[in-house]
Amino acid sequence: MSGPILDFPDQVPYDAYVHASTLHSLQQPLSKDPGEMSFLMVSQVMELWFGLACHELRETQRLLREDDVWGAIAPLRRIKLHLEGLVAAWNGLRWMTPSDFNRFRAQLGEASGFQSAMYRHLEFLLGLKNEALIRPFKRQADLYQDLTAALAAPSVWDDVTAMLARRGFEIPAEVTDRDHTREYEPSPQVERAWVEIYRDDRGDNPLYLLGEALTDVAEAFGDWRYKHLTAVQRTMGNKPGSGGSSGAAWLTRSLARVVFAELWSARTVI
């Protein structure tokens, strides 16, 4: 029985594929406080989870636009698991008290998670649109251009409602042909479509299973937002955020913005 290959003429193949050396060179704390490394690395890990969730949501959109509902369920189920990993990342900061955070907070200056471009992409894909939130990126032309395009593009929910319209559900034109730069407004007709879908809860009904997969994603994203709020309250209380936001107050208001609203309101009717 042969052992693993231990000698390579050039770079170790694992490092060449994963770029582990590059990843481990990206942690550059600004203070001498050992706790800052946790804060920095957990933030970077979350950025990777944001990017992965966006990748899967775009795949979901591609499949929905091809009317492949069965196919769209698979990436949504993966996203749920990715978001569970994202939520679990907060555990790496549960040790942090206000005194712990204050030891290096001043080094952050105006830097804040509020300024995450990838998180904005994730929100836009989930239908949470707000044009003002891309303003911080105006001086970074590539980021600003990408976010402007994402703001104007249909969200996953827009692609879901367009697919329902193609399948004969009575979805009004003001829903399917709306201005995608504006945050989605719930529609009674879309709610009625989901009530009808959920009344056929057979295991071979792809629309019912799609609804449950979307609900899982919305719930897991809500869990992350709630954990974000509690992490901020635990380390900062109600102090203003480092990037000029109102901190916990802003996050509390954000929780009220519902993802895939009619999937939730339809449950009251069913």
**Can you give 2-43 as a three-state secondary structure string?**
CCCCCCCCCCCHHHHHHCHHHHCCCCCCCCCCCHHHHHHHHH
pTM above 0.85, yes or no: yes
Lowest mean pLDDT among 37-41, 151-155, 184-188, 238-242: 238-242
Whether the CB-CB separation of 120 and 53 falls below 8 Å is answered with: no
Cβ atoms 218, 259 nearer than 8 A: yes
Q: Predicted confidence band at 243 (pLDDT cuts at 50, 70, 90)?
A: low
How confident is the model over 50-64, as pLDDT tens digits? 999 999 999 999 999
- Which is higher by pLDDT, 250 or 27? 27
Instruction: Give a yes or no: residue 57 inside a domain.
Output: yes
Instruction: Establish if 256 belongs to a structural domain.
Output: yes
CA terminus-to-terminus distance, the chain: 61
Q: How many separate helices (H) and strands (E) can be counted in the chain?
A: 13, 0
On whether residue 189 sits in a domain, the answer given is yes
Is 171 inside a domain boundary?
yes
Q: Confirm whether residue 139 is marked as ligand binding.
A: no
Q: Residue 61 domain-assigned?
A: yes
105 annotated among ligand-binding-site residues: yes
Q: Residue 240 has what pLDDT?
A: 72
- Split into its structural domains, the chain has a count of 1
Q: Is the pLDDT of residue 244 over 80?
A: no
Domain span at residue 230? Answer: 35-105+155-269
CATH of the domain at 98: 1.20.58.480
Q: What is the pLDDT of residues 186-218, one digit of tens each?
A: 999 999 999 999 999 888 999 999 999 999 999
- Any domain includes 169: yes
Residue 247 lies in a domain: yes
Confirm whether 119 is domain-assigned: no
Burial 50-87 (b: 16+ CB within 10 A, else e): bebbbebbebbbebbeeeebeebbebbbbbbebbeebb
The overall average pLDDT reported for the chain is: 92
